[in-house]
Structure 1
């Protein structure tokens, strides 16, 4: 477990009707055997106490200020209270809870940027629930980027990395329809993404000379242009620019042969051209242990690689493995 001289982590509540609250509670229960760093939940102490009681868990809940997290953590789950009470029922998402979801994220970012904590770990949210309450951002990551830029002159381009000990993947285009990928995929976007990934691998992950592998967009990476021109017209020029920056880059590679064990040993991160091209291999290889890491922000943010899982919330079957991996990685990246 992280020592008391290290800054703690902040875990947002996520959608309180999902599995986030119970995973946070279970992570605290397993804090010693899983070597978890000190963390606090930003939520409603009474709501978390009700969730714990539902499962018959004896978990002391300690409302704290950020400076009290580390001293409270060994004996109780520290909770930084929100101004908005939570009355959620497991599996029943309600737009009425949107203010508490948003306040939890905003407070976590503010406290980390003030230096009160080392990193933000976010529990899953349900965008459609927030949209019903007037949420204006496309998603969680875009909201974090907007908070990072608030009050300043710099904007941020967040990059989603799915990380595990076995594989790290980055989708260059993310949550868009597959039909829109070819038009959205540009040389400039690939170069920007590759530069951010290489920089963060050096600065956050401590890899002195990062090796990137770029997947082709089309089958067989276009088969010399016979199965699509994008690989030669869009991806290959990006590789040339990145190599000109001094970054080691391989590609464009046929995606169907880049994720077996021998191929993975040749790179530190794979850049895929669209969402499923990246997420299918990592969820096959490390379904329960993968972590979502946001690169390109001025603070560390990780999250479990799963959603709110409303269908199993409150049933006691949700596994905390990915959340605990997210906590450990956040401590590693935020507490060098």
Structure 2
């Protein structure tokens, strides 16, 4: 169900500074009163939204993926390890780790049953259970021939996107590959799944929509222009698909009834600007760019509600989103420091 909450902008925006300088931010989790942020240097940060404080929860090897299950923070590393930390336990020794893959753990998702799903540069997808803070192997899904870039889950179905140019639909209970979604000419970067539809995007510049039950392609969407060599950000919201590409535009595509034309929600700030992050909450879309701008758009009216393009968000935006209280925020690089600002 879509949230109908209104935006909650602060009278005086607050900014928290992470304790590293010029580091790539790799993943984000929005919790109740806090944000979890991970970096390529291996740190897991907790940003307390009430006290405006920052705490380092863990330091491991290059974190590239993150998910949460109740109070457990699950994150994957460059060296193929998966780590589990109880966010309510501040004892560093409480970190449990397992060698999960032969290469980088690129993505993590959690099934409704609590099963953990991880995808890796080693081309495999692995399923895990979490018992008393320890992660135990359950199954291995094989079929992709290159890096698994993204996994999405709904019910007991897993959808994966890979650099082998295919997406796959899996039965999480049996491990069976139900469908191979073949059609892209290059790496599958973007992936969205709502239980019925799968949306994939690729470095070939196209977006494809699929029926997850039959595996058939129902539409090929082309609209980001010749400059969009990559459309890596996709969000399915009801009967609308939101996309963001390397051409710097954000677009909305009607899916019911299907329409291969799109509405442009935001355009590029310049020739070298790409969309770096997108989140959707109800009718509001927040987008960040590689040029350091942040925009909030009403996806129904296409009205630009707020825009920070004057260097407020530095030279590059890593992550954007809305807190559970509907407050927009961004994680970005400015003056050699990584900052988190709630607007």
Both proteins in one fold, TM over 0.5: no
Return the structure number with greater strand share. Answer: 2
Structure 1 or 2: more helix by fraction = 1
Ranked by relative contact order (alpha carbons within 8 Å, sequence separation 6 or more), the top structure is 1
Name the larger-Rg structure: 1
